[in-house]
Amino acid sequence: MSRQCWILLVLGISLRLILVGQPPVEDNSWIRQTQTADAIASWVEESPLALSARASWRGDLNARLLLELPIYNLMVWAPAKLGVPLDVAGRLVSMLLWVAGFFLLQRLWIRWLDKRETFWANFLFVFSPLSIAFGQAIMPEMLVQLLVIGMVLQAVRYGERPKAATWWAMVGLGLVGCLLKLPEVSHIYLLFAVALGWPQRWNGLFATRVLLGGLLTLAGLSLWGALTNKMNGEWFAEWNSGSNLTSFLGDLDGRISLRNWTKFVAYQLLLLASPVVWLAIVIGWKNIKASLGQNRWMLAWWVGLAGFVLLWGGPTCMAHAYYNLPFLIPVCWAFGQAMDCDFWRFRPAARKWMVAWVLAVTLPMTAYLLRPDPILVETTKWMKQYVPKGDLVIIKANHSVYTREYPQDPGFSYLSGRGAWIWTKFLPPAEQERAMQTARWIVETHPPSKDSWWEVSRKKIKQHERAPEDIALLLRETRAAGVKDEPAFTAYKTSGKQKLFSTP
């Protein structure tokens, strides 16, 4: 690698070390991160051989859940079992996976970009807000990205020299990636079909090697789906392969919704890259167009991304920031190509200012993604200090639109170290009854008294703010008395003589 690449790599590592040692409440994706962290914590106490992990948000039930192929969990479990704090281990593993992806990406840039173009492509890969935020998050996004880069690199090598070992390496990486995050990986198969099939008038797609690879992938997905259904059937029957696939596919309304497309544009414009990056891409479009005509791999990648949006868009890249990561590498490539057009090449001063213009947006947007949830912090700090170990707590998380009706929320139990029942309308009646019988505390979080400017903007864009849910009936049935009233939360102590919910 060149000296510029090493400098960018060091800067990238430094940025991703910012939150090392901090629990996953310091950024916007804490629900998803604490799901991963909670599962790994269960393994630390038990064994990873079980694959599934105990869900700490289902009270005293031994409810076990299998989320995805837990390779990332295993990578974090190993140092955590040896005594490294789990939050440190999780963030360091993600950072190391990002570093591995950076090195592997250079093998693609060597084939597709010159030195100047490589600098700009790497610059965006390092400073993209999504790349920074999830390059250190306690979740498997960087492992998925590494697998995707590996798949494309193997496909390119296979196109250069069709060897069986290269083909089966590509198939193996693809299968692992699909078992981890099917929506984020499946579009690469469309890339394969276009890049490998089109030059041979699609005849190559019916070769024995291709058919066997497809059958192996489908068999692996089918077996994993059956295993997931079996493990989750007792406590998480709704978390099965069929319902997961259906929920990710969404409906037609989600694909044509103006609100969804607005969110998608906002994610791409502000969180994936800076508006000035997109301006540079528009200015350098002729360069990009000419390069696409000579690079069937990148052209096929963009076709794959179009398929990704049309197939999975509503519940993925239009709903969650991290599902926009599949666009990162193609956008980096386009930015590199755009910065080599005549407009920028003959304006050295403008190129220097480009660095400042990009950072002026990407760093604040990174801070937005890494912003803390102070209400969660205050609530779990109080629980850890005043709720005795072994006591169960009913949590009504009314402070956020993301938590009011979300039933799989381990943030409170993981961060406080106290078992919890997450109280939502989705909690089965039998478990509602058990929660009232076993919980000794009830904690309700409150919305902030004043929204920040970014929350006001987010609500205007997403337009799905729900009103806090009234828990007066729950308090009456459990004969709960208030013991702590703070702006962030109210804590209650139950009487210990709970009765079953009466019929309204």
CA distance 24 to 54: 19
Which value, in Å, is the radius of gyration of the alpha carbons in the chain?
A: 24
Mean pLDDT of the chain: 88
Which residues 6+ apart lie within 8 Å of 386 measured at CB? 484, 491
CA distance 383 to 394: 11
Q: What are phi and psi of 395, to 5 degrees?
A: -110, 125
Query: Percent of the chain having pLDDT more than 90?
Result: 55
Residues 286-332 have pLDDT tens digits of: 999 999 988 999 999 999 999 999 988 888 888 889 999 999 999 99
Per-residue pLDDT, averaged over 15-25, amounts to: 89
CA distance 81 to 40: 10
The pLDDT, as a whole number, for residue 501 is: 43
Structure tokens at 189: 């198969």
User: 495 vs 396, which has greater pLDDT?
Assistant: 396
Of 75-84, 179-188, 243-252, minimum mean pLDDT range = 243-252
One-letter amino acid identity for 484? Answer: K
**Angle formed by the axes of helices 328-338 and 275-283, to 10°?**
50
* Separate counts of helices (H) and strands (E) for the chain: 23, 7
Would you say 384 and 441 are in contact if contact means Cβ atoms under 8 Å apart? no
The answer to whether residue 353 scores a pLDDT higher than 90 is no
The pLDDT, as a whole number, for residue 500 is: 45
The pLDDT, as a whole number, for residue 379 is: 95
pTM of the prediction? 0.90
Q: Nearest CA to 369 among 86, 89, 30, 93?
A: 30
The answer to whether residue 466 scores a pLDDT higher than 50 is yes
The pLDDT, as a whole number, for residue 450 is: 67
The answer to whether residue 230 scores a pLDDT higher than 80 is yes
The pLDDT, as a whole number, for residue 455 is: 61
The answer to whether residue 257 scores a pLDDT higher than 90 is no
The answer to whether residue 73 scores a pLDDT higher than 90 is yes
Residues 148-177 have pLDDT tens digits of: 999 999 999 998 888 999 999 999 999 999
One-letter amino acid identity for 170? Answer: M
Query: Percent of the chain having pLDDT more than 70?
Result: 93
The pLDDT, as a whole number, for residue 463 is: 58
The pLDDT, as a whole number, for residue 440 is: 94
Would you say 133 and 369 are in contact if contact means Cβ atoms under 8 Å apart? yes
pLDDT band at 240 (very low <50, low <70, confident <90, very high): confident
Of 318-327, 386-395, 410-419, 458-467, minimum mean pLDDT range = 458-467
The answer to whether residue 115 scores a pLDDT higher than 70 is yes
The b-or-e profile of 376-400 (16+ CB within 10 A means b, else e) is: bbebbebbeeebeeeebbbbbbbbb
CA distance 385 to 365: 34
Report for 95-104, 273-282, 486-495: range of highest mean pLDDT: 95-104
The answer to whether residue 71 scores a pLDDT higher than 50 is yes
CA distance 491 to 483: 6
CA distance 388 to 406: 26
The answer to whether residue 504 scores a pLDDT higher than 50 is no
Structure tokens at 257: 């919704």
The pLDDT, as a whole number, for residue 502 is: 41
The answer to whether residue 394 scores a pLDDT higher than 90 is yes
The pLDDT, as a whole number, for residue 10 is: 94
Of 32-41, 195-204, 236-245, 475-484, minimum mean pLDDT range = 195-204
Tell me the residue ranges of DSSP E strands in 398-462. 420-422, 439-445
The pLDDT, as a whole number, for residue 259 is: 86
The answer to whether residue 356 scores a pLDDT higher than 70 is yes
CA distance 138 to 27: 11
Q: Nearest CA to 440 among 385, 502, 499, 388?
A: 388
Taking residue 460's Cβ as centre, other Cβ atoms within 10 Å add up to 10
The answer to whether residue 437 scores a pLDDT higher than 60 is yes
Query: Under DSSP, is residue 113 helix (H, G, I), strand (E, B) or coil?
Result: coil
The pLDDT, as a whole number, for residue 456 is: 62
Structure tokens at 171: 């198939």
User: 210 vs 125, which has greater pLDDT?
Assistant: 125
Per-residue pLDDT, averaged over 8-33, amounts to: 88
